A and B are shown apart, each in its own frame.
Chain A
Amino acid sequence: MARHRNVRSMQYDEFDDDFAVGSVNDEPECISPTDAQQWIFDRARGQSSLDSFLSNNEDIQEEDDDEDENESPSKERRDSEHFEFPELNELDKSRLLSCMDEIRNIIGETYSDRRLVAAIMSNDYDFNKALDTLLNGESKPQVHHHPRAKIPDVVEKGIGEMLLEKSQQMKHQKEAVTVTVTPASKNKTSGFEVNSPRTLTPNSSGRNSPQEDENKGNRTKEAIRNARELFEKERGSEKEQLHLVVIGHVDAGKSTMMGHLLFDLGNVPQRLMHKYEQESKKMGKQSFMFAWVLDETGEERNRGITMDCGYQRFETPTKQVTLLDAPGHKDFIPNMICGANQADVAILVVDATRGEFETGFEQGGQTREHALLVRSLGVSQLCVAINKLDNEKWNQDRFNDIMNKLKFFLKHAGFKDSDVHYIPCSGLTGENLVKPSTESELISWYKGPTLLQVVDSFKVPERAIDKPFRMSVSDVFKGVGSSGFCISGRIASGHVCTNDKALICPSKEQGVIKHITIDEFPVQSAFAGDQVSITLTGADPTNVSVGFILCDTHNPVPLATKIKARIIVFNVKSPITIGYPVLLHHHSLVEPATVSKLKAQLHKGTGEIIKKSPRCLTNNSCALIELSFQRVIAIEKYSDLKEMGRIMLRVGGTTIAAGLVTDIINS
């Protein structure tokens, strides 16, 4: 009887699982004639169609639920009798048995052998943890269930649908109470916890049964509610996390400045610095010695430029800062975007040397493009480090000159004056980085803070911990000595714990999160804003690539083949028309796209529609457009989740527009 619900939810692999475990869901039961009349479809009796029969019998489900409840305790008992131990080697088996004995001593025969073994195995033979698991009844044993490659149908449903469904189920449930509830089952239920006994038996009827769903739903709801508490508990005592990206034109001295900063803070051992000094001297590039702290590969050192983002961490009096050293070269802007996507605040390094500042700032220089990029990626606080001012003899006029030029530009780029700090410094000599300068020419006119003080004064933006879990995959690699594979990236929103299930979109791979590490340090849970690497099992690494989104299974990220977006066009060589091929940058994803429609041109300030369906978009205009992709991508509306709704459009090595996703179309 219980079977037909399974059929409805079409979980074929669920079936197989259940059979593989060796127990059958429904035993043959005798049906009384009246029951039969109610429940069995009989064409001979003149019921016109199966459909109408089913619609007349809406409450079939509830009856089933009750029967399930009746069934499960007896099954639990039966479980123990037929249960065979999993195949283990001698050592593990003895550990398992001793563990089981201890648990039995404490809790008696409340639980089946199967459940005990599962709990013990999932906790790696740790008796205390296993006992906790059993008593809390929270984690379902995973040992006997094959990892599900296919996502249950439920996952693909929208949130709204799920809610709707849930409310319907609740209604059914209420009605169900009036039907038959045998006292025996009630007694049994009230034994341990709020969850129905069914969740205790690992092999009860389909996991996807509606009631189970409701439990899951409750659980996620609970998890969401607890996210902030959990965060307070885990992180309350620690310093605030801040992600800082260093940007600027090529050869402005970004890596050198940061290398020197790290060295001055004592994050780089003296011995190592000495080694770098010797080696760089040998290569005839002594001025690069500090840059080597962040540029670690041979190629980067040989060429003397940063190619991919370098990661380092350091601490200021009130914050823990993750430093992302972005490459400045034009060809590596995709890497820079990837880094800037992870940042909360930025340091813009400009070269004060006469001529150098100008080339970096003029058309085609990266100073402009980087600043625009980080602004459109949501960075609002900026520190402008006017570097190499020692080349200009710490000239105040030069400093003011550059500051004024940048002030004008940054204001236009959308930075508030109060959120931008200007600092004179020298990356190579280390003036005004950590300690106030001793250079008399500088202190004669500069009384402001050092670079470190500015970094310390940055405000940490609000993290979207309460939102559903999202993480953009920025790297896929094989972990060291673990099963499965590792993916790394920054959590854009929500939080995640070990043993959570997660879904990778758009390939819809499902896996279980085995380990989470932050900066090589294993943790149990991670929150929005953290830079993590996650070991995933049960998923196929070939279906995961850079730019995919790891998300919550209950609340997956929407998929799109077309999006509508509101964009701001930067300086473009040729105007944007329909059919214009562009590269879309979204977190780590780089995907070719085509502008398929120009919906409307908007007023830059007010957002009013100036012109419907314009022929083309020229410099500095604002517009509503439609973009279409060859493949499905995972993206979210800006209104739903800010972190996931920002896009960048690039053509031929220059950024032509930045935008926000306003609508998602999945055909």
Chain B
Amino acid sequence: MKLVYKNLDKGCGSIKVIPDESEDMWHAYNLICEGDVVTASTIRKVQTESATGSSTSNRVRTTLTIKVENIEYDTQGCMLRLKGRNVVENQYVKMGAYHTIDLELNRAFTLTKPEWDSIALERVDMACDVTQKADVAAIVMQEGIAHICLITSNMTLVRSKIDIAIPRKRKNNPSQHEKGLTKFYEAVYQGILRHVNFEIVKCILIASPAFVKDAFFEYMIQQATKLDQKIILDSRSKFMLVHASSGFKHSLKEVLQDPAVVAKMSDTKAAGEVKRLETFYTMLQCEPARAFYGKKHVQKAVDALAVETLLISDNLFRNQDPIQRKEYVKMHDDVLEAGGDVKVFSSMHVSGEQLAQLTGVAAILRFPMPELEEDSDADDSD
């Protein structure tokens, strides 16, 4: 994302940015809240009535400013759709008329917020930081199931899920099994060709239990040689075979913990987040009085200045309710102020997904607070 200008005064004002890759839509989704004002170029269908009464409609590209009422994000297509009322009248659209803007890549938009908090500003900085990039493709598979994922710094996108029934080997008739397996490999191979952009991706992880990954890799190279697909053969060095316990999406967590993978992509957010969450779980196991989750517990720990590391999922900052959002922002700021560390997890990664399920907020404490544990019974009535 490119920052065109930033015009802020005491926390209110506007910024203008140009999103230039699909991940920027994710950032925009996290930035824009209901009630914000967005100015962007869009297409509007305009009906004109002639003097005789016949009406014609045509599509006009115009720049509109709307007050956002509804935000929709399509995770697969990375599209962001903003619906709201027009607040600046122009020749085509009346004041107060509803319009839905699809934010487009490479077209600037201006975002005006009544209040820019630290989270939002951090998000802008992060989005405009070009160094934070590592595109990795990962294929987690087991016999019959495969997920082709793209891991960017803030998102894990499942591009394709392949689920093919493979008959088991049976006596005297192993051919059905082999046929099924070949069909499965072919589907995964085609999926890779379709979804992985070899020019961008720096590394392709193939993860599976047992020998599936080796067998598949062999099949892929064989097939590429046969069909003379240079693109695969040239990027042969980018492939990495890693062990995973199953072909389901959450085994990506194991993959990202593999030492070989960590060494290769230590700079990505995804790998870092997995590690953080693991630390939290280890602490919960070893010293349960120093690891807490849930808003109430964490809030108490924050008030006691006890939080060493705060893990928080970014879906909490997309909260519809501005008061709740403010509470979380305050929690975030308080921890930073007290010299703690805050990790905002992307809810698009597997680890972030898990954190979001775990109430969205967790904390590792500097010192044990067993009193929190004791009064948990009273708290859990909600």
Contact = CB atoms under 8 A, between A and B. Distances in A.
B290 to A, nearest CB: 12
A575 B285 contact: yes
Contacts of A573: 285
Interface in B181-232: 209-211
Interface in B226-268: 245-246, 248-251, 253-254
**Best-surrounded residue of B165, B251, B355 (most CB of chain A within 10 A):** B165
B251 A594 contact: no
Given A475-B167, A581-B354, A592 B248 contact: yes
A297 B169 contact: yes
Contacts of A475: 167-168, 170
Contacts of B288: 575, 615-616, 618
Interface string B119-158: 0000000000000000000000000100000000000000
Contacts of A616: 284, 288
A615 B296 CA distance: 13
B368 interface: no
B234 to A, nearest CB: 30
Interface residues of B, number: 44
Given A307-B210, A329-B210, A653-B209, A577 B174 contact: no
Contacts of A441: none
B116 interface: no
B358 A296 contact: no
Interface in B274-289: 278, 281-282, 284-285, 288
A590 interface: yes
B26 interface: no
Given A303-B211, A545-B165, A616-B284, A581 B250 contact: yes
A581 B163 CA distance: 20
Contact of B355 (A579, A590, A596, A612): A579
A478 B176 contact: yes
Given A615-B293, A652-B251, A579 B284 contact: no
A296 B169 contact: yes
B161 to A, nearest CB: 11
B171 interface: yes
Nearest to A574: B281
A574 B248 contact: no
B359 interface: yes
A299 B215 CA distance: 10
A577 B284 CA distance: 9
Nearest to B164: A545
Main secondary structure of the interface of A (DSSP, over half): loop
B357 interface: yes
A592 B284 CA distance: 23
Interface in A612-632: 612-613, 615-616, 618
B285 A476 contact: no
A477 B358 contact: no
Contacts of A651: 245
Interface in B325-356: 350, 353-356
Contacts of B373: 615
A47 B77 CA distance: 58
A480 B175 CA distance: 12
A246 to B, nearest CB: 18
Contacts of B359: 578-579
A146 interface: no
Interface in B345-382: 350, 353-359, 373, 376-377, 380
A583 interface: yes
A16 interface: no
A652 B284 contact: no
Contacts of B350: 581
Contacts of B171: 296, 311
A402 to B, nearest CB: 29
Interface string B282-304: 10110010001110000000000
A573 B277 CA distance: 13
Contacts of A299: 211
B250 to A, nearest CB: 4
A577 B293 contact: yes
Contacts of A431: none
Given A579-B354, A615-B373, A574 B282 contact: yes
A590 B284 CA distance: 28
Nearest to A477: B167
B165 A546 contact: yes
B141 to A, nearest CB: 13
Contacts of A480: 173
Contacts of B170: 475, 477
A578 B278 CA distance: 15
A573 B355 CA distance: 18
Contact of A580 (B210, B292, B354, B377): B354
A308 interface: yes
Contacts of B173: 480
A332 B167 contact: no
A296 to B, nearest CB: 7
A334 B168 CA distance: 13
Interface in A459-501: 474-478, 480
Contacts of B251: 652
A331 interface: yes
A477 B144 CA distance: 14
Contacts of A579: 354-359
A652 B354 contact: no
A29 to B, nearest CB: 53
Interface string A541-564: 000111000000000000000000
A611 interface: yes
Interface in A273-331: 296-297, 299, 303, 307-308, 311, 329, 331
Contacts of A596: 357
B316 to A, nearest CB: 14
B356 A296 contact: no
A574 B165 contact: no
**Best-surrounded residue of B144, B168, B251, B377 (most CB of chain A within 10 A):** B168
A596 B356 CA distance: 12
Nearest to B179: A478
Interface string A193-209: 00000000000000000
Contacts of B209: 331-332, 653
A475 B210 CA distance: 20
B176 A613 contact: no
Interface string A568-604: 0000111101111101000000101010100000000
Contact of A611 (B293, B357, B377): B377
B281 A575 contact: yes
B210 A331 contact: yes
Interface in A436-476: 474-476
Contacts of A476: 165, 167
A652 B254 contact: yes
B246 A590 contact: yes
Contact of B380 (A307, A544, A574, A613): A613
Contacts of B353: 581
A303 B210 CA distance: 11
A18 to B, nearest CB: 36
A575 B167 contact: no
Contact of A578 (B210, B292, B358): B358
Contacts of B177: 297
Given A578-B358, A579-B355, A618-B285, A297 B174 contact: yes
Nearest to A651: B245
A592 B251 CA distance: 10
A229 to B, nearest CB: 33
Interface of B: 144, 163, 165, 167-171, 173-174, 176-177, 209-211, 245-246, 248-251, 253-254, 278, 281-282, 284-285, 288, 292-294, 350, 353-359, 373, 376-377, 380
Can you list the 10 inter-chain pairs with the closest CB atoms, starting with the nearest? A579-B357, A653-B245, A574-B281, A477-B167, A579-B358, A331-B210, A331-B209, A581-B250, A613-B380, A475-B168
10 contacts: A331-B210, A475-B167, A546-B144, A577-B358, A579-B354, A579-B356, A580-B354, A613-B380, A615-B373, A652-B251
